[in-house]
Structures are given as C-alpha cells and as structure tokens.
Amino acid sequence: MNFELSEDQRAFQRTARDFARDRLAPNAGKWDEDKHFPAAELREACQLGFGGIYVSEDHGGTGLSRLDAALIFEELAYADPSTTAFLTIHNMVAGMISRFGNDEQRGRWLADVIGGEKFVSYCLTEPGSGSDAAALKTRAMAEGNSEYRVNGSKAFISGGGTADLYVTMLRTGGEGPRGISCVVVENGTEGLSFGKPEQKMGWNSQPTSTVSFQDCIVPVANRLGPEGEGFRYAMMGLDGGRINIAACSLGGAQACLDAAREYIKQRRAFGKTLSEFQALQFKLADMATELEAARLMVHRAAVALDNAEPDATMRCAMAKRFATDACSHICDEALQLHGGYGYIKDYQIERFVRDLRVHRILEGTNEIMRVIIARKLLEAAA
C-alpha cells in the first residue's frame, strides 16, 4: 500500500493551504465573534475549484476523489473548521445534484452552485427525528401531476435563511425509508420560511435555523430522481459527509497541536521551558499519535468509498467516530497545555474546541456510528 501523495494531490494541498492562510485565518476569529457568514470568501474558494470537488468534469466540476476532498478540507479547516464545514455541505449537495439530477436540473442549478453564485443547504433532520431519519414527517402531497404541496419543518439546517437552494428529504409515500423523496426547494418559494438563527456554542460563521414549509408549492420537476429514492440518496451522501467532517476535525486538531508545540517551547516555569518537562512531552506525543491514527483511518475510509468497497459504510462510520472523538480530545489537551491562555479568545484554541465539539454529533452521532459498525460486523459474522 502506497501512502505517498501524488504530485496532483500535493498541489491541491498547497492551493488549499495558501487560501486558508491568506483568506480564512486572518478573519476566522472575527467571523466567529460577529457570527458573520463569509460569502465572499466562500465564493473565492469555489472559484478555485472547491465548490464542485467531486462533481465530474463533464458536469463542470473538478472531478476529484473523496481522498482528494479530505486532503483539501483538512487544509482549509486548519484555519477555520466552521467555514470549511459549510463548504463540505455545499459540495455534498452539489454532488447530489450532479449524480441524481437530470440534464435539465443540472443545467438549471449546477453551474451556479459549483461557482459559488448560489449556496445550498441539506435538509434531512427534523425536530422529532434526528438519528431516526427514516421517521421524518415533513410531507409533500401531490397537487395534480406537476406540483407538490409541502408542509412540515426541518431543524438545525446549516445555511438556513441564507442558502439559495434547499435539497430536502420529504415524505411523498408511506411510512419508512421507501416513502421518502429528494426535492430541491428554491429560496423565495411562497410558503418557505426560516426560524431565527440559533445561538450556538460553535460553528458561528455559518447560520443555522429551522426551515419551515407551510402549503409550500414546489414543482415535481424539482425532484431529484424517482419518488421513493430520497432516503437512499441521503444515506449515500452521509457516507461522504462523515469523511468530510472527520477531515475538518483533522485540520482543527493539527492547528491546535502545532500551536501547543510552539507554546510549550517558549513558555517557562520553574526555570525551564515547558517542553523540558517529560510529562508534557508525553502528552504531546500522545496527541500526535492519536492524530496520525485518525488521519490514516480517514484516508482509508475515503479510498474505500472511492472504490465502492463492500465495507465502505462501516469504514466511514469508524473513521468519523474515531477521528472526531480523538481530534476533539487533542484540541482540549492543547487548551490545557496553554493553561489560562488557552481559555482566552486571543489564542484561538478555544474556538477550535467549540467548533470541533459538534462534529461528534452531526452526520450521525458517534453513538449511531457504533450502531452502524456493530451491525455491519454482525452481518459479516452471520
């Protein structure tokens, strides 16, 4: 197995690293404090090719792999996990439109999404159905042959109120996963409304709100694929989403590890630098080891998904569970190594701690990741 990156992959990394250093890092703290959505910088990222990473070149994207995407998102998240996480959602939805949409739908939306002219949100979670996504209640009733009347609401939607398109899982049939379809709802549609922005612990550079539908009339022509395929599309998207959020965790943890290493080399106590104390050396060594293990798992899962390996879903769940837990712990340890300074906003460590905490919840909680892993293991043993 070759662990070396190709020259193309190193080029993607450099481009993402330079953009993160020049356009994200100088402003990330301010965006967090002001709860500012950096639309201009996200459009710049899209213009670099980061808006349609795994959209095929035939459809106007860059046609990169899941592993390529993980490398890019890690570099961007080194500066700003919150803004990068929104970009991962944008890419996931772009990929869904590319893969499951028809030529007319791709022609109508995809170029603007890839170029960052339109931002997109992914609407699956509901107030009464989080981990049990197949129990969603928001319903789309057929109105003749050409329209749906949509009623219900979605919760915790990144980009709610700001995004231009909402790729939404709606119940068009009976109970269970086979009754769910995937429909694109455009901002400005009558009956579509948004709750007030949620006041969050982290991820403050992207707005989060409820998305509500009250007798919202949506053309059947906005449905991606046949009726009843929405839940399958959603689950396919989540495998990649789990790799993406794990990659964002890698970037945040690497930033905190690097900051902690430099800090303990400079900070002095009892006549020595902190880096001369073996207990702190061991702590740093454990942080670096956990980060390397997490990175290897994420990359292996990305390759499995790229190759459509039979155990790809399990590997994505494993990587998401391990990496988000480990990286959150690394950031917390980095804060501890900074002492009181780690708790102060000027040092930015606390921002990474807050931003990475939610990674253990979204894209399926880490408890649900354990359910998926155990189920796959038991199926294999049957």
Tell me whether residue 74 is one of the annotated catalytic residues.
no
Per CATH, is 7-119 categorized as 1.10.540.10? yes
CA dist 336 and 326 (Å) reads 15
Determine the pLDDT at residue 235.
86
The answer for residues whose C-beta is within 8 angstroms of residue 96's C-beta and 6 or more apart is 167, 182, 224, 233, 237
Q: Which of 333, 369, 337 is closest to 353 using CA atoms?
A: 333
The answer for residues whose C-beta is within 8 angstroms of residue 291's C-beta and 6 or more apart is 250, 253, 254, 257, 326, 327, 330
Give CATH 1.10.540.10 domain extents, the chain: 7-119
Query: What's the rounded mean pLDDT across residues 71-92?
Result: 97
- Across the chain, what does the average pLDDT equal? 95
Please answer whether residues 257 and 288 qualify as being in contact, where contact means their C-beta atoms are separated by less than 8 angstroms. Answer: yes
- Convert the pLDDT of each residue in 18-39 to its tens digit: 999 999 999 999 999 999 999 9
Give CATH 2.40.110.10 domain extents, the chain: 121-228
Q: Write down the CATH number for the domain with range 231-381.
A: 1.20.140.10
Its pTM surpasses 0.85: yes
- Convert the pLDDT of each residue in 305-352 to its tens digit: 999 999 999 999 999 999 999 999 999 999 999 999 999 999 999 999
Determine the pLDDT at residue 21.
97
Give CATH 1.20.140.10 domain extents, the chain: 231-381
Q: Taking the chain, what is the end-to-end CA distance rounded to the nearest angstrom?
A: 30
For the cut 70, the answer to whether the pLDDT of residue 219 exceeds it is yes
Residue that is written with structure tokens 């102060």 in the block: 344
> Any idea which architecture 121-228 has in CATH?
Beta Barrel (2.40)
| Active-site option among 117, 363, 367, 379 | 363
CA dist 259 and 339 (Å) reads 13
Tell me how long the chain is. 382
CA dist 347 and 101 (Å) reads 45
- Convert the pLDDT of each residue in 231-259 to its tens digit: 999 888 889 999 999 999 999 999 999 99
For the cut 90, the answer to whether the pLDDT of residue 381 exceeds it is no
